């Protein structure tokens, strides 16, 4: 099987702090990581390769130069080859423009690799944008069927069997190839990189695709120009007014007071 | 029976005057205070517990107890594994948990002064905020530093940084007589009389009550990488350990474990972190190695050479954890070994022998051989880097009396072998109440008498933590 | 797409039995306000099979019109069928804007649809407004794990699309059943539906964790300390008839399953009462529960950020206060 995994390098939003003076995000010193959901997508591809040894895994990322680090991490964990899509002209893209660029890049990579992908795997959402839109939009651009919220996938005679989260449990969905699958957190963690892969990843060549190489892209659909949505403004959410602290002499008295307050507020 | 007095109402009144509002008695006494993490060594409710809050308070209480011959046992977080804080003669339990302030940092001298009830995790986190590391890293993060010092706790970083003993600069001690005294100072070396501070360290609360400590810190390393090396065979896994030192690697931690204990820990956590198979081969044992340094670049070449060695010596693969979440996962699994065992067993006992590093392999072989002769299960893991093995005996089906009898036999045999191989019977857990008779056998009468002499010098009335370490309770 | 009307559409997702899923009714609430400001009608779009019950619910909660696509192939959600149906009616009637509930299906459908129509979609909105000057909808949504709020516009493309999570808005009041019902005869041939449901694995009844529908949630975080610690949380939840929730820290530690997770990468909830035990209040968690009506925080660290949004706080050991509260409630109920 040939699998392409889309990954994004994101700031570790667990570590983001707000500057109390300017009330803006402090991004300095926040470590950059591979978007965790993309990590689950990569692990899913690696598990397919565990069962189907001649599976090839290519990772693709659109971002600034430093996104190369994220791609190298992916090579160390499981990927065979990495491509970085990077160009100033792509900056400012919303999800529609981004998915357009990525879908054209996937077509270009297929050309360069001389083989079509059987499946495109993505994380369900990036933890900075949090939109969960790019995956399905890529599927639409490519004309592929999609399955979202996948936990696990297994290759099958007629395509893939996808175990996905449903409202009251799990579902198994059969989907034909080629397809796109977006992944959420499964019960297992991504594997550790091995020392051999780490050393190879450090030396690996990562191919760069700029607007010059991506001749199949119409720049009118990229960047700000190609983005139907735009950000009017951003703000740090205000902190709510602090409430009442309950502190009586004994724990029992505090519990009693708390109960009374909640009872009066009609919530118990 | 020892010569102790009961606590009369008069004495209680005096105690309440010495520690107003902190004295608890009768039905209000917390049953947790009757034992530590190993109830198998026996439990006994104290008559009075006092949540002490200052050195002066401790001294005032001790004066009263000394005068009236009341036994006193010090307790931190109660996480000990040898019954060290069990008040086997009743009396007073002094709990130090309220003395939990980090008092001051002396960053120029890389030292910090704390009250003895500060928890290990509390100091570890706070030190990092100051750019420092408190190197000793015993497995129980919620133990008090007073308890750590009393047992000379070790932990996973001991292989590179040494044990707690190496990091105690000074202490404030209340003697059994009620006198307050100070040992040590913020100096790097000394030759100024007998080392009283070193007597206190590891004395398990039998010579004095530590109320304040000045501890040594080091600059926090900037980068950490852990390697996980799975092996098919435990013997091969352990035999690699001495090679680390022969080839001048200085790992921060070097742990080994068999797959059984990993499985119970991962079941307990509900999370599988370590691979069970590599390229179709079942993994029998794992080596976990951590390196720390000033930068990832510095570590990369060390990690590469160490990995080469591991692969040459028979590791099935070498897996790398260099991101915060991955490091957290593998060490969380390792830290839950004990909880994993506790979860799945009814009866539990343990020992933590230490043998020279190159004797781990024959020792483990010996354990595997003799464990066949007993009805309980044996699980173990170890600080491979300093030859310290934690061996647990577990049973869900045996009857308690029979379990204790068989375990006693098993441990005696093990301890004998330990001494034969040039080791000691406890690497870091201590002797407490549970191992006193084993210590007699291991050390012999000459050294035991020396220890008892020292004990009497500090505690002439033998009221402090009776029945522990070198003083077994007099038979009726 | 050129608009033909100033209407505001709301997708009403249906269950397999043809009844309405709650979020589609909830969205009629902001839908009404926006439709009025846009100067158009509030229209509910029902897609499903045997959907009379859903149609009636839409009508009795304020829809002026209900457009119905009712056929066997829409009984269960599939990306291909629903995208085709919705794209068809949107192109036919060309309204100004549409709201879709951000259920798993909604989040699967929204981007597929917006891409097909070449328009803009804003996901997981927490507030909706109309910019008076331009008449465009201002979509407010969280980003960076909830650390930042962004106000988004889709000025030049139509329809403007947005998804909103269940529980963010309350259902509108019941009104007269007076909507005009338009039945669209639209079909998707089965060979154009490229996914098949092979199996449903229901969680055992006791394990279904309904956080989004819960009135009261008792949540445990890092302070709970371990698997056993959740026992006191469950006891309090039991006596209150509440659902047990958890912070990401507790789930990551393996103390409770992901189905209980509340927060940016878990469920977003808006219960009447949210009791957070041993939860520090990391912004990702707050993002998932800050719209709760009443928040109680129990934590031994008085600096914990959760106290900043709590209505009532108790600084102390949760293992003391939670059982005490459980006992107090039992007493009061007796």
Residues A266 and A184 in one domain: no
Residues A28 and A154 in one domain: yes
Model confidence pLDDT, tens digit, residues A91-133: 999 999 999 999 999 999 999 999 999 999 999 999 988 899 9
A112: domain CATH number is 3.40.50.620
Please state, in angstroms and rounded to a whole number, the distance separating the CA atoms of residues A206 and B423.
54
**Residue B354 has what pLDDT?**
95
User: Per-residue b/e over B446-475, b at no fewer than 16 CB within 10 Å?
Assistant: eebeebeebbeebbebbbbbbbbbbbeeee
Contact status, residue B197 vs residue B189, Cβ threshold 8 Å: no
**Residue B466 has what pLDDT?**
95
Residues A187 and A146 in one domain: yes
A99 within domain boundaries: yes
Q: Which B positions 418-447 lie with beta carbon below 8 A of chain A?
A: none
Residues of chain A with pLDDT under 70: 239-242
As a residue count, chain A comes to 268
Which domain does A243 fall in, by range?
238-268
As a whole number, mean pLDDT of residues B154-160 equals 91
Label residue B476 by pLDDT band (50, 70, 90).
very low
A226 within domain boundaries: no
The alpha-carbon gap from C180 to the nearest alpha carbon of chain A, in Å, equals 32
Place of tokens 């474990």: B257
Burial class (CB in 10 A: 0-12, 13-18, 19+), C142: buried
- Phi/psi for B22 (5° steps) reads -110, 0
Domain count of the fold of chain A:
2
Residues A191 and A248 in one domain: no
Cβ pairs A/B, distance under 8 A:
36
A153 within domain boundaries: yes
Question: Could you give all domains of chain B from N- to C-terminal order, each with its CATH number?
Answer: 102-219 (3.30.465.10), 223-338 (3.30.70.2190), 345-420 (3.30.70.2740)
Cβ pairs B/C, distance under 8 A:
10
Question: What's the sign of the alpha-carbon dihedral B205, B211, B215, B220?
Answer: positive
Question: Could you give all domains of chain C from N- to C-terminal order, each with its CATH number?
Answer: 8-192 (3.40.50.620), 205-333 (3.40.50.1220)
CA A109 → CA A71, A100, A137, C226, distances in Å? 15, 14, 18, 47
Residue of B nearest to C258 (CA): B270
Residues A188 and A252 in one domain: no
Residue B174 token pair? 């209340």
Q: Which B positions 259-298 lie with beta carbon below 8 A of chain C?
A: 268-271
**Residue B126 has what pLDDT?**
93
CA B452 → CA B355, B447, B455, distances in Å? 25, 9, 5
Please state, in angstroms and rounded to a whole number, the distance separating the CA atoms of residues C86 and B239.
67
Residue C254 and residue B339: Cβ atoms within 8 Å?
no
Residues A177 and A125 in one domain: yes
Neighbours of A53 (CB within 10 A): 7
Residues A135 and A250 in one domain: no
Closest CA to B147 of B391, B425, B428: B428
A228 within domain boundaries: no
A40 within domain boundaries: yes
**Residue C252 has what pLDDT?**
79
Residue C227 and residue B268: Cβ atoms within 8 Å?
yes
pTM of the model: 0.80
Label residue B271 by pLDDT band (50, 70, 90).
confident
Please state, in angstroms and rounded to a whole number, the distance separating the CA atoms of residues B223 and B227.
14
- Per mean pLDDT, which range of B176-180, B212-216, C206-210, C311-315 is the poorest? C206-210
Contact status, residue C239 vs residue C275, Cβ threshold 8 Å: no
As a whole number, mean pLDDT of residues B284-313 equals 93
Instruction: Look up the ipTM and state it.
Output: 0.88
Residue A258 and residue C296: Cβ atoms within 8 Å?
yes
Tell me whether B273 touches chain A (CB under 8 Å).
yes
**Residue B192 has what pLDDT?**
86
Residues A213 and A263 in one domain: no
A137 within domain boundaries: yes
Residues A87 and A139 in one domain: yes
Please state, in angstroms and rounded to a whole number, the distance separating the CA atoms of residues C318 and C298.
6
A232 within domain boundaries: no
Q: What is the DSSP letter of B193?
A: S
Residues A257 and A144 in one domain: no
Tell me whether C227 touches chain B (CB under 8 Å).
yes
Please state, in angstroms and rounded to a whole number, the distance separating the CA atoms of residues B367 and B417.
10
Residue C332 and residue A236: Cβ atoms within 8 Å?
no
* C226 contact residues in B (CB cutoff 8 A): 339
Residues A81 and A148 in one domain: yes
**Residue B209 has what pLDDT?**
98
Which of C254, C280, C301 is the best mutation test for B, with the most CBs of B within 10 A?
A: C254
Instruction: Tell me: pLDDT of B337 over 90.
Output: no
* A235 contact residues in C (CB cutoff 8 A): 148-149, 151
- Strand blocks (E) in chain A: 2-6, 9-11, 17-18, 25-26, 32-34, 56-62, 81-85, 119-123, 146-156, 159-166, 169-175, 179-183, 207-209, 230-235, 244-245
Question: What's the sign of the alpha-carbon dihedral A33, A34, A40, A42?
Answer: negative
The alpha-carbon gap from C209 to the nearest alpha carbon of chain A, in Å, equals 8
Instruction: Tell me: pLDDT of B2 over 70.
Output: no
Q: Which of A188, A194, A198 sits opposite B272 (nearest CB)?
A: A188
Residues A98 and A24 in one domain: yes
Residue B339 and residue C253: Cβ atoms within 8 Å?
no
Which of B290, B303, B319 is the best mutation test for A, with the most CBs of A within 10 A?
A: B319
Query: Percentage helix, strand, coil, to 5, in chain C?
Result: 35, 30, 40
Instruction: Tell me: pLDDT of B1 over 60.
Output: no
Question: How would you write the pLDDT of chain C (334 residues) with one tens digit per residue?
Answer: 889 999 999 999 999 999 999 999 999 999 999 999 999 999 999 999 999 999 999 999 999 999 999 999 999 999 999 999 999 999 999 999 999 999 989 999 999 999 999 999 999 998 999 998 899 999 999 888 777 899 999 999 999 999 998 878 889 999 999 999 999 999 999 999 999 999 998 866 556 688 887 889 999 998 998 899 999 999 999 999 899 999 988 987 789 988 899 987 678 888 889 999 999 888 778 888 988 889 999 998 887 889 888 999 999 999 999 999 999 999 887 7
């Amino acid at each position: 099987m040939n699998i392409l995994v889309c990954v994004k390098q994101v700031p570790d939003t667990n570590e983001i702090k707000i500057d109390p003076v300017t009330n803006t995000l402090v991004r300095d010193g926040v470590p950059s990581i591979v978007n965790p959901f993309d990590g689950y997508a990569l692990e899913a591809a690696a598990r397919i390769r565990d069962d189907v040894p001649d599976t090839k895994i290519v990772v693709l990322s659109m971002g600034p130069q430093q996104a190369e680090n994220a791609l190298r991490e992916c090579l160390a964990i499981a990927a065979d080859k990495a491509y970085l899509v990077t160009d100033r002209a792509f900056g400012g893209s919303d999800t529609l423009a981004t998915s357009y660029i990525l879908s054209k890049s996937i077509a270009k990579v297929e050309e360069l690799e001389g083989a079509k992908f059987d499946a495109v795997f993505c994380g369900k959402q990036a933890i900075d944008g949090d939109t969960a839109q790019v995956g399905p939009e890529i599927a639409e651009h490519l004309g592929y069927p999609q399955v979202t919220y996948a936990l696990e996938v297994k290759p099958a005679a007629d395509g893939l069997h996808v175990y996905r989260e449903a409202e009251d449990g799990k579902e198994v969905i059969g989907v034909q190839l080629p397809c796109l699958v977006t992944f959420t957190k499964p019960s297992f963690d991504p594997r550790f990189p091995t020392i051999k892969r780490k050393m190879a990843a450090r030396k690996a060549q990562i191919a760069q695709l700029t607007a010059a190489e991506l001749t199949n892209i119409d720049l009118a659909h990229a960047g700000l120009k190609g983005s139907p949505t735009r950000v009017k403004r951003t703000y740090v959410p205000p902190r709510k007014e602090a409430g009442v602290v309950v502190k009586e002499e004994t724990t029992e008295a505090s519990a009693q007071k708390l109960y009374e307050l909640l009872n009066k507020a009609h919530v118990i | 029976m020892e010569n102790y007095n009961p606590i009369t109402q008069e004495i209680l009144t005096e105690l309440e005057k010495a520690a107003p509002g902190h004295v608890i008695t009768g039905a209000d006494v917390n049953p947790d205070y009757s034992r530590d993490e190993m109830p198998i060594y026996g439990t006994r409710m104290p008559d009075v517990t006092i949540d002490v809050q200052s050195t002066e308070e401790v001294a005032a209480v001790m004066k009263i107890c000394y005068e009236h011959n009341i036994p006193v046992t010090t307790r931190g977080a109660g996480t000990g594994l040898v019954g060290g804080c069990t008040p086997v003669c009743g009396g007073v339990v002094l709990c130090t948990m309220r003395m939990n302030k980090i008092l001051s940092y002396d960053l120029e001298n890389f030292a910090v002064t704390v009250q003895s009830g500060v928890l290990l995790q509390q100091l570890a986190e706070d030190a990092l905020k100051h750019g420092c590391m408190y190197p000793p890293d015993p497995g129980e993060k919620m133990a008090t530093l007073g308890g750590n010092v009393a047992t000379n706790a070790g932990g996973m970083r001991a292989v590179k940084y040494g044990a707690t003993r190496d990091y105690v600069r000074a202490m404030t001690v209340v003697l059994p007589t009620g006198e307050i005294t100070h040992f040590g100072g913020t100096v790097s070396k000394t030759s100024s009389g007998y080392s009283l501070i070193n007597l206190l360290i590891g004395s398990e609360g039998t010579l004095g009550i530590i109320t304040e400590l000045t501890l040594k810190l080091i600059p926090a390393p900037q980068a950490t990488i852990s390697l996980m090396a799975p092996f098919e065979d435990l013997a091969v896994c352990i035999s690699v350990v001495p090679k680390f030192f022969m080839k001048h690697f200085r790992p921060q931690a070097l742990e080994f474990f068999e797959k059984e204990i990993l499985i119970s820990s991962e079941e307990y956590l509900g999370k599988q972190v370590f691979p069970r198979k590599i390229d179709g081969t079942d993994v029998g044992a794992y080596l976990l190695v951590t390196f720390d340094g000033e930068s990832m670049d510095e570590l990369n070449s060390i990690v590469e050479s160490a990995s080469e060695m591991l692969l040459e010596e028979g590791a099935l693969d070498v897996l790398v954890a260099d991101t915060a979440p991955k490091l957290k996962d593998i060490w969380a699994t390792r830290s839950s070994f004990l909880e994993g065992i506790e979860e799945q067993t009814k009866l539990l006992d343990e020992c933590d022998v230490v043998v020279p590093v190159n004797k781990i392999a024959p020792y483990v072989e010996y354990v595997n051989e003799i464990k066949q002769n007993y009805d309980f299960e044996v699980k173990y893991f170890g600080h491979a880097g300093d030859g310290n093995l934690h061996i647990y005996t577990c049973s869900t089906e045996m009857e308690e009396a029979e379990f204790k009898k068989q375990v006693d036999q098993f441990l005696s045999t093990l301890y004998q072998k330990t001494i034969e191989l040039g080791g000691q019977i406890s690497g870091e857990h201590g002797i407490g109440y549970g191992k006193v008779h084993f210590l007699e056998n291991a050390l012999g009468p000459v050294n035991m008498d020396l220890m008892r002499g020292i004990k009497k010098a500090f505690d002439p009335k033998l009221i402090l933590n009776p029945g522990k370490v070198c003083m077994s309770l007099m038979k009726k | 797409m050129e608009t033909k009307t100033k209407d505001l559409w709301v997708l009403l997702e249906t269950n397999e039995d043809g009844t309405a899923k709650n979020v589609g009714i909830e969205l009629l609430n902001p839908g009404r306000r926006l439709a009025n400001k846009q100067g158009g009608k509030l229209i509910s779009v029902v897609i499903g099979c045997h959907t009379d019950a859903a149609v009636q619910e839409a009508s009795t909660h304020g829809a002026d019109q209900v457009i119905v696509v009712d056929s066997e192939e829409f009984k269960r959600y599939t990306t291909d069928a629903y995208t085709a149906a919705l794209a068809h009616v949107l192109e036919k009637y060309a309204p100004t804007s549409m709201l879709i509930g951000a259920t798993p299906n909604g989040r699967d459908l929204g981007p597929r649809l917006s891409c097909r129509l070449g328009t803009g979609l804003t996901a997981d909105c927490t507030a909706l407004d109309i910019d008076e000057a331009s008449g465009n909808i201002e979509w407010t949504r969280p980003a960076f794990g909830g650390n930042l709020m962004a106000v988004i516009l889709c000025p030049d493309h139509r329809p403007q699309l947005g998804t909103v999570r269940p529980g963010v808005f309350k259902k509108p009041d019941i009104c007269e059943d007076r909507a005009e019902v338009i039945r669209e005869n639209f079909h998707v041939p089965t060979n154009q539906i490229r996914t098949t449901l092979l199996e449903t694995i229901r969680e055992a009844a006791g394990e279904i964790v309904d956080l989004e529908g819960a009135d009261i949630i008792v949540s445990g975080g890092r302070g709970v300390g371990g698997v056993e610690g959740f026992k006191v949380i469950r006891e309090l939840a039991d006596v209150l008839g509440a659902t047990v929730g958890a912070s990401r820290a507790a789930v990551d530690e393996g103390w409770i399953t992901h189905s209980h997770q509340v927060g940016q990468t878990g469920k977003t909830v808006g219960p009447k009462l949210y009791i957070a035990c041993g939860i520090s209040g990391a912004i990702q968690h707050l993002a998932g529960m800050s719209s709760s009506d009443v928040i109680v925080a129990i934590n031994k660290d008085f600096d914990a950020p959760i106290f900043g949004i709590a209505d009532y706080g108790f600084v102390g050991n949760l293992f003391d206060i939670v059982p005490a509260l459980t006992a107090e409630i039992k007493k009061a109920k007796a």
